[in-house]
Structure 1
Amino acid sequence: MTTRWSTNITPAERAARIVIGGLGALTGIVLLTGATSALAVVLELVLVVAGLDLVVTGALGHCPLYARLGHVPASLKEKTS
């Protein structure tokens, strides 16, 4: 069974997610190289995963949380109606 995801992120938000997510993931990776405690490693891994999530949702243009909440930006509602 294939499901087609609808775009529920505006182009500006997509670009911001990709840039901010990429910076977050890169920062997490850089910080991991100097991690000195287990807590630091866990927090930096969370930063990397969150950054990658932003990059993927920005690239796909679909946010599963937005879909679950039924959120569609006003600018996208006008285009689909």
Structure 2
Amino acid sequence: MSKPFQTHNKQLKILRSRNLIIKDGSKAKSILIRENYYQLINGYKDIFLDIVKTKQLKNDYFKTGTTFEQIYALYE
């Protein structure tokens, strides 16, 4: 199933709503532009997910304290 394109600002908003901490929104946005949301987030998010919340809410929710920078560091 294809998902509609979301702007980079909307992607950051979605990540924040899923409990991901983004310390520097401008830097995170430039990383998303350069690296691609799906390659970065979907490729490396699994170890950071809160499985209990995910199963209950049918969305990916990140463990408390997880940062965008941690996911990006793993990606690098």
Query: What TM-score comes out, normalization by structure 2 length?
Result: 0.26
RCO higher in structure (CA 8 A, sep ≥6):
1
Whose helix proportion is higher, 1 or 2? 1
State TM-score, norm by structure 1: 0.25
